[in-house]
Amino acid sequence: MNKDLHQLIQISNLDKEIDALEPQIELKRGELDKAIRSKESKNRELLALEEEKEGIKLQISRNNQVLQDMGAKLESVYKKISEVRSERELKALNVEEEIAKEQIAQANQEIQRLEGELDHKFGMQKSIQTAIAQLDETIKSLEGKVNEDIEEIKAQQHEIFDEKQKLIVVMDQKLIGFYEKVRKWAKNSSVVPVRKQACGGCFIRINDRVYAEIIQSNDIITCPHCGRILYIEES
Ligand SMILES: [Zn+2]
């Protein structure tokens, strides 16, 4: 195989190795990101519950106001009853008394219900706070480890990159330029083997004349169909 082609295959393999490490970084980050996002969403839940609690408290204070008003109302009714002069007047006052009592009972019932709801929201907040504390622990322990792991992977990438740079300086610069151009669209399948006389990138069959040229391997040959750089695998 000609030297240029051999070096190009090496370069392309090194590029593949560098790229293959990328998902590992993503994977490491993914776990941490997930914990951070989960914490953010729990914080939003907490805030929403706080707002709901405020709303309930407002309703409770409205009902307390009803209790106060109706208490005052009853007092005035009782006062009037003590000074009542006719049966008709007494009947009307009794009706007013009943209505006030009923409203008091209703308000009390409503307050009880609202307080139960408030307790429930409070309990939900507690359990969310516990979950947040656990997530904080997870985030803290992951942060250190993830950063360490990523640094390690990046160091590996760097090593491979250095190896690639060493190769590049001794190579034909025009060829490197050409390879980079192909790589822009073909990514990690820029330099592909020919298998069963078909391009290893687009899988279209290569005609006998081009195939013979690739076998001779005196030049850099590209696929007539897709433009990827081709080579014959050495057995
Ligand atoms: Zn092709």
Distance 227 CA to ligand 1 centre (A): 6
> Over the stretch 71-97, which tens digit does the pLDDT of each residue have?
999 999 999 999 999 999 999 999 999
Which of left, alpha, beta for 219 (phi over 0: left; psi -120 to 50: alpha)? beta
Share of the chain above pLDDT 70, in %: 100
The 10s digit of each residue's pLDDT in 155-199 is: 999 999 999 999 999 999 999 999 999 999 999 999 999 999 999
Q: If you measure from the C-alpha of residue 232 to the centroid of ligand 1, how many angstroms do you get, rounded to a whole number?
A: 13
pLDDT at 234: 79
Cα of 118 from ligand 1 centre, angstroms: 68
CATH ID of 3-170, from 3.90.550.10, 1.10.287.1490, 3.90.580.10, 3.30.70.360: 1.10.287.1490
* pLDDT single digits (tens) 16-30: 999 999 999 999 899
Cα separation, 201 vs 222, whole angstroms? 11
CA torsion 94→100→106→112, rounded to 10°?
-120
Question: For residues 26-53, b (16+ Cβ closer than 10 Å) or e, as one string?
Answer: eebbeebeebbeebeebeeeeeebeeeb
Q: Break the chain into its structural domains and give their ranges.
A: 3-170, 172-235
Ligand 1 centre to CA of 197 (Å) is 11
**pTM for this structure?**
0.63
- Tell me, in angstroms, the distance from the centre of ligand 1 to residue 206's CA: 8
Confidence (pLDDT) at 118:
97
Ligand 1 centroid – CA 79 distance (Å): 103
Distance CA 102, CA 134 (A): 48
**pLDDT, tens only, 97-134:** 999 999 999 999 999 999 999 999 999 999 999 999 99
